[in-house]
Amino acid sequence: GLRYVYRLLDLDVLRRPVADVLAAARLAGFDGLNVTHPAKQAVVPHLDELSPEAAALGAVNTVVFSRGRAVGHNTDATGFARSLSRGLPDVRIDGVLVTHEHADHVGAARILDEKLHRRQGRRVPFWMTAGTRRGLDDRCRPTRLERAEPGRAFRVGRFTIEPFAVPHDTREPVSYLLD
């Protein structure tokens, strides 16, 4: 088996900037870090290198320390696409519902859009609120955007979808009821 230790480094508890936590992990001999919101974009300027996926998204969810360098990776889109192809290989995807603008929700939208286009031969609509859409930068923007508004139902394939507002620390976050 593998010998490893997994430790939580919570920025709120540590009350240290991302750069300090990254430097301390490197100094302590960590092999890598998992990165989540709100640090996925904040850590990028403090890394020595980015994988092509992380560079394309401008966000990192994994840091690997190797040969004195900190390399940022992002596995969100590839992991999601791989899960789809393994778990639902023959299912046609008619739409993607985005709940809010955190990097781990919208950061991989462009890559996922491309993977779904190659898989299905067509562009799949990404449904999100105007607030979430404003949170996208051009690197993350899927080709086909549709507007979701709380209280205004729409159809995706055989489903009726009704967005509803939820409390969160982003602009216009929603969840969805599917019928």
Give me the catalytic one of 40, 102, 115, 133: 40
Token output for 23: 């430097």
User: Measuring CA to CA, which residue among 74, 99, 76 is closest to residue 170?
Assistant: 99
Question: What value, to the nearest 5°, has the Cα angle with vertex 33 and ends 48 and 70?
Answer: 15
Is 115 part of the annotated catalytic residue set? no
Question: For residue 126, what are the β-bridge partners?
Answer: 96, 145
Question: For residue 65, what are the β-bridge partners?
Answer: 70
- Angstrom distance (rounded) from CA 156 to CA 146: 11
Catalytic (active-site) positions: 40
